[in-house]
């Protein structure tokens, strides 16, 4: 049973990390242009969407908020994938996706966050932050290392 939990937390870290990196790549235009399959395809379309989630903000403010969320998603993804400060990164992903889901539900439609696994990411981040041991991580290596 312990082995399942060890593999499970690794897969969860990788899944959340990839689930954050792919949208970042999309909004930077690395997965193709708008309309070719990705959600946004470029920064402009991403900021347009961000502005629909925070309609009370001006376009320049939506641009700033989009930049902050993109940076947070990128940093949390890398931290989870390499296994560095997993508790903090996974809690950050939970808070970020919770705020996204609430904005989607309030400013789009109540079913919007359920059309995507937004709250699944929230729950996964919370579960991951509550674990005591992260095998195959920098955190585990540092913890074992004598001072």
| Continuous H helices in 28-137 | 43-53, 59-82, 86-107, 112-115, 118-129
Q: What is the pLDDT of residue 144?
A: 77
Helices 43-53, 59-82: crossing angle, 10 deg rounding: 100
Q: What is the pLDDT of residue 55?
A: 97
Q: What is the pLDDT of residue 48?
A: 96
Query: How high is the mean pLDDT in each 10-residue block of the chain (147 residues)?
Result: 88 97 95 86 96 97 98 98 97 98 98 96 97 91 77
**Which pTM value belongs to this model?**
0.93
């Amino acid at each position: 049973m312990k082995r399942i939990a060890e593999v499970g937390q690794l897969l969860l870290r990788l899944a959340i990390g990839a689930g954050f990196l792919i949208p970042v790549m999309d909004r930077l235009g690395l997965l193709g242009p708008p309309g070719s399959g990705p959600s946004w395809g470029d920064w402009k379309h991403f900021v347009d969407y961000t502005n629909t989630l925070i309609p009370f903000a001006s376009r320049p403010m939506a641009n700033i908020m989009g930049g902050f969320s993109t940076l947070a998603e990128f940093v949390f993804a890398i931290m989870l994938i390499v296994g560095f400060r997993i508790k903090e990164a996974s809690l950050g992903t939970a808070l970020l996706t919770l705020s996204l889901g609430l904005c989607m539900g309030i400013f789009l439609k109540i079913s919007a966050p359920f059309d995507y696994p937004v709250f699944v990411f929230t729950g996964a981040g919370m579960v991951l932050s509550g674990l005591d041991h992260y095998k195959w991580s920098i955190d585990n290596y540092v913890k074992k290392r004598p001072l």
